[in-house]
């Protein structure tokens, strides 16, 4: 039995994702694909457009065999921590043979080489990085400039412009840190770029699809309109489900309220936040009537939009620096299975026999099997599900199951 791990958000699942799954099964002759998927809040610092169980169902229809949840402490983190959290979870399953990720380059050897370079940062790179940060550049930009200046196969401009390439580097760094036996491989990304928001390109990106949904407001786009971007079976399942997309605009008033009432000392504890950014956000509250304009106003050379969004999301969810540090040092406490295919019972049986962590398929029944820290982590996920569900209730008057009542997704 050959099993491939895939790290994703499926926000939402589209034709490019299906292409990746089909190529994995064809090229590497894998029997099963286990997906580690972000829950209700994602790495861009936003609520997922659809809740984690809806996206699980769409992923299984699209070709995944098993979907497990990436804890929110990791799913909303920077690329390095996002990657480490997902890779370490796959590693602890004990049954993953290969890790496959999409990349703009499609070339694994150069990504491996850069990952090894960054796993053992030489002194000249560290000095170059400090120098670029002092100039006021954001960390991603400063690292890119430092790499171009010190990496032995420079220049790297094209490779470091690719969002998927950068994540791929972090995946491999995590594998090296963990001394994992999982074999990494990559498939070249097809279709529109990750950041493209054009819905009219061949294989539009998730960003373009989210924008398309947003511009339709609360109306449900017709199936014929969406099948240029998403598999038909996935679209049909989505439209027949409780259609309830959520965006940052839906929490903007809450964010404004939090920024108004919080004191500086409270911000010190929030992960990836600082006083300077807090003051900038607070002083800009009356300059924008919507979230998009607000984000454009507060973005600077050293604070990218994504960095700001993640900081805001950590404040919204009250994720503290100690939360991530403690999880990094103590590791995952359980595997939360969100869904699986009926045809995947063989791999689930193997997972039960091999995985070193408790498997959680029923929150009520399995909660008592966890360590005290594991219970705390699961309680935070239950809380985040409730927060997301309240956004849906407020906007659409649709009641979603909480984690105690939600059955695992089986297709």
Domain with CATH 3.40.50 in the chain: 3-104+187-246+332-410
Q: How far apart are CA 328 and CA 305, in angstroms?
A: 25
Q: How far apart are CA 407 and CA 363, in angstroms?
A: 9
**Threshold 0.85, pTM exceeds:** yes
Give CA separation, 319 vs 129, 326, 365, in Å.
Answer: 27, 12, 26
One pLDDT digit (tens) per residue for the chain, 411 residues: 999 999 999 999 999 999 999 999 999 999 999 999 999 999 999 999 999 999 999 999 999 999 999 999 999 999 999 999 999 999 999 999 999 999 999 999 989 999 999 999 999 999 999 999 988 888 888 888 898 889 876 667 678 778 899 999 999 999 999 999 999 999 998 877 766 788 878 789 999 999 999 988 767 778 888 899 999 999 999 988 778 999 999 999 999 999 999 998 889 899 999 999 999 999 999 999 899 999 999 998 888 899 999 999 999 999 999 999 999 999 999 999 999 999 999 999 999 999 989 999 999 999 999 999 999 999 999 999 999 999 999 999 999 999 999 999 999
CATH class of 3-104+187-246+332-410: alpha beta
Q: How far apart are CA 97 and CA 87, in angstroms?
A: 12
Helix (H/G/I), strand (E/B), else coil: 265: helix
């Amino acid at each position: 039995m050959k099993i491939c791990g895939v790290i994703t958000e499926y926000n939402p699942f589209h034709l490019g994702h299906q292409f990746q799954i089909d190529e994995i099964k064809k090229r590497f002759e894998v029997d099963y694909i286990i997906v580690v998927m972000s829950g209700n809040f994602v790495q861009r610092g936003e609520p997922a457009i659809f809740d984690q169980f809806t996206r699980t169902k769409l992923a299984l229809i699209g070709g995944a065999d098993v979907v497990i949840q990436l804890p929110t402490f990791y799913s909303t983190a920077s690329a390095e921590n996002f990657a480490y959290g997902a890779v370490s979870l796959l590693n602890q399953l004990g049954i993953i043979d290969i890790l496959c990720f999409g990349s703009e380059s499609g070339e694994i050897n150069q990504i491996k080489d850069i990952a090894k370079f960054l796993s053992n940062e030489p002194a000249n790179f560290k000095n170059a990085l400090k120098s670029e940060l002092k100039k006021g550049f954001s960390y991603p930009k400063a690292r890119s400039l430092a790499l171009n200046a010190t990496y032995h196969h420079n220049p790297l401009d094209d490779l470091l412009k690719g969002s998927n390439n950068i994540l791929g580097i972090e995946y491999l760094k995590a594998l090296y840190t963990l001394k994992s036996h999982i074999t990494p491989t990559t498939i070249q990304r097809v279709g529109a770029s990750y950041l493209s928001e054009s819905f009219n390109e061949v294989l539009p990106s998730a960003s373009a699809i989210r924008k398309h949904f947003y511009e339709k407001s609360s109306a449900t786009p017709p199936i014929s309109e969406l099948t240029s971007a998403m598999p038909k079976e996935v679209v049909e399942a989505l439209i027949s489900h409780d259609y309830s997309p959520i965006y940052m605009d839906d929490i903007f008033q809450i964010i404004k309220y939090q920024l108004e009432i919080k004191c500086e000392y409270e911000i010190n504890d929030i992960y990836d936040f600082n006083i300077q950014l807090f003051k900038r956000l607070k002083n800009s509250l009356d300059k924008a009537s919507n979230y998009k304009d607000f984000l454009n106003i507060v973005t600077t050379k050293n604070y990218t939009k994504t960095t700001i969004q993640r900081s805001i999301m950590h404040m919204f969810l009250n994720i503290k620096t100690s939360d991530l540090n403690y999880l990094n040092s103590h590791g995952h406490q359980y595997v939360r299975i969100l869904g699986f295919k009926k045809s995947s019972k063989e791999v689930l049986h193997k997972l039960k026999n091999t995985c070193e962590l408790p498997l959680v398929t029923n929150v009520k029944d399995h909660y008592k099997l966890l360590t005290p820290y594991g219970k705390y982590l699961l309680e935070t996920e239950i809380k985040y599900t409730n927060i997301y569900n309240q956004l849906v209730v407020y906007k659409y008057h649709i009641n979603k199951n909480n984690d105690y009542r939600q059955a695992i997704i089986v297709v």
